[in-house]
């Protein structure tokens, strides 16, 4: 009779993750070991804890006050989705790359060129809003972004352009021709010519008001893009 001792006990050979065909139920059965499930639970809890520590979950409520833009006194809160963020990003880029979203320097900027930038923004924003897929417009938050953008155009930009743009451009074009056609020694820069507009101070004050509101609008669109 052999005196060889029995082999030592070994760890369970049960696989960590397995897929077995159950002929009775005619279906695949997925099974995982307790060890794998425990590790997965720890990872999920760690991710949740990190996300809360970093600032919470994505798509928090976002508030916009129309009074900041001079287009009303309504405050509305919504939970933005990716469509809202994409629209806000496109608007922010337009405002950031045009004179419309930056402070006007009346000593160096030419008002007619600022008006060109404003009109270009009006056109681009209108096309951007029109380009939002109809099925995504159904969301309440997207409707609010669209309505805000339209109100900024119609109640923020349009009144100033309606009152001042044609009057100033007509006067300014005539003054440019007059200075170009005269043979006198006086040479004026466009900035000096525009400052001779009969209602320059009133025009300037209204442009600064609109410009300030649009700068705030640009900042809110930027914040919406970055908001988790």
The pLDDT assigned to 79 comes to 84
Q: What confidence tens digit (pLDDT) does each residue in 111-122 have?
A: 999 999 888 888
Token pair listed for 130? 């029109």
Q: Which residue reads 């065909």 in tokens?
A: 21
Q: How far is CA 108 from CA 63, 104, 105, 171, 173, in A?
A: 36, 9, 6, 19, 18
The CA-based angle 192-197-203, given to 5 degrees, is 105
- 207 contact partners, CB below 8 Å, separation of at least 6: 104, 111, 114, 160, 164
Whole-number Å distance between alpha carbons of 112 and 205: 16
- pLDDT (average), residues 217-226: 87
Q: At residue 5, does pLDDT exceed 80?
A: no
Lowest-confidence segment of 7-21, 82-96, 180-194 by average pLDDT: 7-21
The pLDDT assigned to 10 comes to 47
Token pair listed for 200? 């320059």
Predicted confidence band of residue 78 (pLDDT cuts 50, 70, 90): confident
Q: At residue 11, does pLDDT exceed 80?
A: no
- pLDDT (average), residues 208-225: 89
Q: At residue 43, does pLDDT exceed 50?
A: yes
- pLDDT (average), residues 68-84: 82
Dihedral pair phi/psi, residue 173, rounded to 5°: -60, -40
The CA-based angle 78-83-88, given to 5 degrees, is 75
Q: Are 213 and 70 in contact (CB under 8 A)?
A: yes
Whole-number Å distance between alpha carbons of 188 and 183: 13
Q: At residue 85, does pLDDT exceed 60?
A: yes
Would you tell me how many other CB atoms lie within 10 Å of the CB of residue 78?
19
Mean pLDDT, the chain, rounded, equals 78
- 43 contact partners, CB below 8 Å, separation of at least 6: none
Angle between helix 140-151 and helix 111-130 axes, rounded to 10 deg: 160
- 140 contact partners, CB below 8 Å, separation of at least 6: 78
Q: What confidence tens digit (pLDDT) does each residue in 162-203 have?
A: 999 999 999 999 988 887 776 555 667 889 999 999 999 999
Sign of the Cα pseudo-torsion (165, 166, 171, 172, in order): positive
Q: At residue 27, does pLDDT exceed 70?
A: no
């Amino acid at each position: 009779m052999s005196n060889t001792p029995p082999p030592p006990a070994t760890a369970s050979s049960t696989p960590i993750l397995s897929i077995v065909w159950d002929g009775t139920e005619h279906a695949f059965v997925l099974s995982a070991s307790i060890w794998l499930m425990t590790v997965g639970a720890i990872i999920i809890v760690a991710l949740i804890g990190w996300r809360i520590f970093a600032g919470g979950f994505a798509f928090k409520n976002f508030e916009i006050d129309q009074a900041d833009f001079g287009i009303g006194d309504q405050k509305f809160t919504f939970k933005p989705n990716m469509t809202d963020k994409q629209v806000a990003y496109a608007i922010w880029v337009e405002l950031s790359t045009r004179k419309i979203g930056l402070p006007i320097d009346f000593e160096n900027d030419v008002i007619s060129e600022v008006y060109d930038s404003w009109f270009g923004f009006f056109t681009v924003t209108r096309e951007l809003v029109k380009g939002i897929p109809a099925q995504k417009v159904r969301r309440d938050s997207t409707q609010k972004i669209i309505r805000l953008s339209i109100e900024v155009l119609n109640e923020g930009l349009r009144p100033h352009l309606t009152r001042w743009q044609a009057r100033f451009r007509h006067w300014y074009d005539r003054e440019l021709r007059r200075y170009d056609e005269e043979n006198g020694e006086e040479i004026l820069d466009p900035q000096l010519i525009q400052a001779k507009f009969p209602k320059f101070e009133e025009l300037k004050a209204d442009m600064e008001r609109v410009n300030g509101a649009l700068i705030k609008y640009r900042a809110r669109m930027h914040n919406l893009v970055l908001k988790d």
